[in-house]
Amino acid sequence: MITRTYTKELTRFAGSNGSTFKVTAIYNPNEENDPWVEYYNEQTKQEYTCRQEAFLHRFAPIED
Protein backbone atom coordinates (compact mmCIF):
# COMPACT_ATOMS: atom_id res chain seq x y z
CA MET A 1 0.00 0.00 0.00
CA ILE A 2 1.26 3.45 -0.90
CA THR A 3 0.49 6.30 1.44
CA ARG A 4 0.97 9.95 0.69
CA THR A 5 1.33 12.86 3.00
CA TYR A 6 0.31 16.28 1.82
CA THR A 7 1.37 19.39 3.62
CA LYS A 8 -0.25 22.75 3.16
CA GLU A 9 1.62 25.92 3.92
CA LEU A 10 -0.37 28.04 6.33
CA THR A 11 -0.80 31.58 5.06
CA ARG A 12 -3.62 32.93 7.26
CA PHE A 13 -3.14 33.90 10.89
CA ALA A 14 -5.26 35.51 13.62
CA GLY A 15 -4.27 38.12 16.15
CA SER A 16 -5.42 38.16 19.78
CA ASN A 17 -8.06 40.79 18.96
CA GLY A 18 -9.63 38.67 16.18
CA SER A 19 -7.98 40.46 13.24
CA THR A 20 -6.84 38.16 10.43
CA PHE A 21 -3.62 38.45 8.49
CA LYS A 22 -2.29 36.86 5.32
CA VAL A 23 1.40 36.08 4.79
CA THR A 24 2.68 37.16 1.39
CA ALA A 25 6.39 36.33 1.75
CA ILE A 26 9.02 34.84 4.03
CA TYR A 27 12.57 35.92 3.26
CA ASN A 28 16.08 36.27 4.67
CA PRO A 29 17.41 39.82 4.26
CA ASN A 30 21.11 40.07 3.46
CA GLU A 31 21.28 36.25 3.35
CA GLU A 32 21.26 36.10 7.15
CA ASN A 33 19.81 33.13 9.01
CA ASP A 34 17.03 35.27 10.50
CA PRO A 35 13.82 34.98 8.43
CA TRP A 36 11.40 37.88 8.13
CA VAL A 37 7.68 37.75 7.31
CA GLU A 38 5.79 40.11 5.03
CA TYR A 39 2.05 40.11 5.70
CA TYR A 40 -1.09 42.25 5.55
CA ASN A 41 -4.27 42.79 7.54
CA GLU A 42 -7.12 41.21 5.55
CA GLN A 43 -9.64 43.83 6.70
CA THR A 44 -7.62 47.04 6.30
CA LYS A 45 -5.10 45.83 3.66
CA GLN A 46 -2.32 47.53 5.68
CA GLU A 47 1.04 45.80 5.07
CA TYR A 48 3.62 44.89 7.71
CA THR A 49 6.98 43.13 8.10
CA CYS A 50 8.64 41.64 11.17
CA ARG A 51 10.98 38.86 12.19
CA GLN A 52 9.43 35.41 11.80
CA GLU A 53 10.11 34.54 15.43
CA ALA A 54 8.14 37.58 16.63
CA PHE A 55 5.36 36.91 14.11
CA LEU A 56 4.85 33.34 15.34
CA HIS A 57 4.66 34.55 18.97
CA ARG A 58 2.13 37.24 18.06
CA PHE A 59 -0.25 35.32 15.76
CA ALA A 60 -1.97 31.93 15.67
CA PRO A 61 -2.42 29.95 12.44
CA ILE A 62 -5.87 29.57 10.88
CA GLU A 63 -6.38 26.22 9.18
CA ASP A 64 -8.79 26.42 6.26
The C-alpha atoms of residue 7 and residue 5 are separated, in whole angstroms, by: 7
Residues 2-60: pLDDT tens digits?
A: 655 444 577 999 999 999 999 999 999 887 888 999 999 999 999 999 999 999 999 99
Contacts of residue 16, defined as CB under 8 A and 6 or more positions apart, other chains included, come to: 58
pTM given for the model = 0.81
Any idea where the domains of the chain sit in the sequence? Answer: 12-61
